[in-house]
Chains A and B, each alone.
Chain A
C-alpha cells in the first residue's frame, strides 16, 4: 500500500511536469523541429558542393586598363567574359572554373582604383586585390585569411603565365562519400548530444530556478511530498523528452542522409542514458541555490557555452592547441559525443564506450548528490 502510494505520488508529479512541457507549443518547435532543420541545413550545406562565388578587386593604379601587355590583362581580356554595361559597383569581368568534383567557382573581377579596392577589402566584399606591376601579376591579401589564400591558389593556377589549367583531369581527387566519412555523419551524433545537454540543462536547471522563484518549490515541500521524488520526476520527464527528440532527429537523418548506426544500438542507449544522467546531475547542482532567473541564465550559459564550442559538435576539437585537447576530452559533452559518434561511425560497442559511460554516470551521480545536499527549496 505504502509503495503504491509512493508510486502514485511519483506518477502524479511526473505526469504534471510532462503536461507542463508538452502543452507549450514552443517545445515542439525548439525541441524537435529545430534540430531537424539544423541538421537539414548544415547537412545539405556540407554534403552538396554548391557553386562558389569569389569576388576579386583589380587595381587599375598601374597602366591603362585593358591595354596592358601583362598576364593579368591578357587573362582578363581573353579568357574572361566582359560585362558590357551596368551599374558602377558591378563587376567588370567574370570567369567560371568548372569542377564536377570540387564544385564550380565563379570569379567576379571588379576594376577599381586602389583606394576603392581597399575599401571593398576592408568591408569584406573582396578578399584579394590583383595588381599588374611591370607585367607581373601581384596578389594582395591577408595571409592569415584562409579564404583569401584559397582564392589566390585557385587564381594563380589560371592566370599564371596566361596558360589555363582546366581541372577536368583531376583524377587524383577521390571524393569520400562512404557512409561514416561525410560531414553529416560527423554532425548528427553531435547534434543529438548537444540536444541532450541543452535540453537537460535548460529544462531541469531553468525549470527548477523558475519554480523556486515562483515559490512553487516552497509550496510543494510544505506537503508530505518526498523531495527526492520531485527531482526524480523532473529528471525522468526530461530523459523521456530527450529520447523523443533524439529519436526523431536520428530517424530523420537515417532516412534523409542514408546514415547508418554501425555499432551496437544497446551501447548507444547506454551512452545516451549515461549522458542524460551526467547532465541531469550537473543541472540539479547548477540550480541548487539561486531563485533569480537572470542569475540562472548566466550559470547555465557558463556551463553549456564552453562545451558547445569546445566539444567538437560542429568541427573537430583536434584543431585546438595540443595542450587543450586532453582537457576538452574530459568534458562531459566531449565524452558523450565521442562515444555516440564512435557507435554511429566506427562500429563501436560496449567495450569501447564502457569507460566514458561509467565516467558520465559517476559525474552525474556526484553532481546530483552534492546538488541535493545543498539544494535550497525556498
Chain B
C-alpha cells in the first residue's frame, strides 16, 4: 500500500475563543479527489489552510508527502497548487501576464502559460485585464494559476461558490479533464452536495470542526437516499441553512 500524500494527524486549531478544528485525522492517497463537505463555519477552510501551510496547527501534525511544512517550505510549495477563497489578483494585469508572473515563481515560461490558458479555456481572454473578467472566468484563472506548476497536490477552497450553474459546470469540466489526464490528488471544500458527488471519489463531511462521516460517495449513499438527507440525519439541519 502506498503512503498517503497528505497526512493530517490529530490537528487542532482555534482563533481566540473559537475552536475551529477539533482533533482531525485524515489521510489522502495519491490521485484521490477528496471533497470536504460542510456548511459555513464547519472548519473546512481552516483545515485546508493548515494543509496549505498558511496556518499553523495549535496541536497535531500535518505531513505532505511525508514531510512537515517546517524546513520544507520551498520544496512543498513546488508540488502544491492552490486556489484560496475569494482571492483577487492584480486588476490591471492581463490574463497571460498574471499567469506569467506565477509561472516565473516556478521557473516556467510562456509554453506552460499557453498550455494552462488552453486547459482552463481562457484563450479568447488571454489579453483581457483581470478586472474585466466575469466571476466564472476569474475562478478559471485562479484554477489555472493553481495548475501552473503541474502540482501533484491541488487544494481548492470553494472554487465554485457564488458562480452561476453554467460557470460552475465549466469549472467541473476542467477538473474532470485534470482527473483523467493526471495523478493529481485534490482536496476541494464545498457546501454543494452535487459538486462533491460529481467530482470526488472520497467525501469527508465536516461540522463544527470535526469529521462526522467519510467514505466514497457510494458507501455514504448506502446510509441515506442522498447526501443532503445524510447531513440532516447527522446534524439535524440542512447544509445550506
Contacts and interface: CB of A to CB of B under 8 A. Distances in A.
Interface string A7-34: 0110111001101100110000000000
A214 B87 contact: yes
A224 B92 contact: no
Interface in B91-131: 91-93, 97-98, 100-102, 104-107, 129
B54 A24 contact: no
B86 A215 contact: yes
B64 interface: no
Interface in A209-231: 214-216, 218-219, 221-225
Contact of B53 (A216, A219, A222): A222
A378 interface: yes
A23 B105 contact: no
Given A215-B86, A215-B88, A216-B87, A222 B106 contact: no
A20 B90 contact: yes
B92 A214 contact: no
A323 interface: no
* Top 9 closest pairs, chain A to chain B, by CB: A12-B104, A23-B92, A214-B88, A223-B105, A225-B105, A224-B77, A215-B87, A16-B101, A219-B87
Contact of B84 (A5, A8, A215, A223): A215
Nearest to A377: B54
A5 B88 contact: no
A206 to B, nearest CB: 14
Nearest to A215: B87
B78 interface: yes
A5 B107 contact: yes
Contacts of A17: 90
Given A218-B84, A219-B84, A224-B74, A378 B54 contact: yes
A16 B78 contact: no
Nearest to A9: B104
B89 interface: yes
A9 B105 contact: yes
A378 B50 CA distance: 13
B80 A222 contact: yes
B82 interface: yes
A207 to B, nearest CB: 10
Contact of B78 (A12, A216, A218, A224): A224
A16 B89 CA distance: 11
Contacts of A20: 90-93
29 contacts: A5-B107, A8-B104, A9-B104, A9-B105, A11-B104, A12-B100, A12-B101, A12-B104, A13-B101, A13-B104, A16-B90, A16-B98, A19-B93, A20-B92, A23-B92, A216-B87, A216-B90, A218-B54, A218-B84, A218-B87, A219-B89, A221-B54, A222-B52, A222-B77, A222-B80, A223-B102, A223-B105, A224-B74, A224-B106
A270 B90 CA distance: 32
Q: How large is the interface on B (under 10, 10 to 19, 20 to 34, 35 or more residues)?
A: 20 to 34
Contacts of B92: 19-20, 23-24
Interface in A72-110: none
A230 to B, nearest CB: 10
A256 to B, nearest CB: 32
Contacts of B86: 215
Contacts of A221: 54
A140 B53 CA distance: 75
B92 to A, nearest CB: 4
Interface string A220-252: 011111000000000000000000000000000
A224 B87 contact: no
Interface in B42-85: 52-54, 74, 77-78, 80, 82, 84-85
A17 B90 CA distance: 8
A13 B90 CA distance: 11
A29 to B, nearest CB: 16
A222 to B, nearest CB: 6
A13 B93 CA distance: 11
Nearest to A16: B101
A10 to B, nearest CB: 9
A17 to B, nearest CB: 8
Given A221-B54, A222-B52, A224-B78, 17 more contacts: A5-B107, A8-B107, A11-B104, A19-B93, A23-B92, A23-B129, A24-B92, A214-B88, A215-B85, A215-B88, A216-B89, A218-B84, A218-B87, A222-B82, A223-B102, A223-B106, A224-B105
Nearest to A11: B104
Interface in B1-24: none
Contacts of B93: 16, 19-20
B97 A19 contact: yes
Interface string B134-167: 0000000000010000000000000000000000
Contacts of A378: 54
Contacts of B84: 215, 218-219, 222
Contacts of B100: 12
B77 A216 contact: no
Contacts of A12: 100-101, 104
Contacts of B88: 214-216
B6 to A, nearest CB: 15
Nearest to B98: A16
Nearest to B155: A222
Contacts of B105: 9, 223-225
A8 B88 CA distance: 23
A8 B107 CA distance: 8
A11 B145 CA distance: 19
Nearest to A24: B92
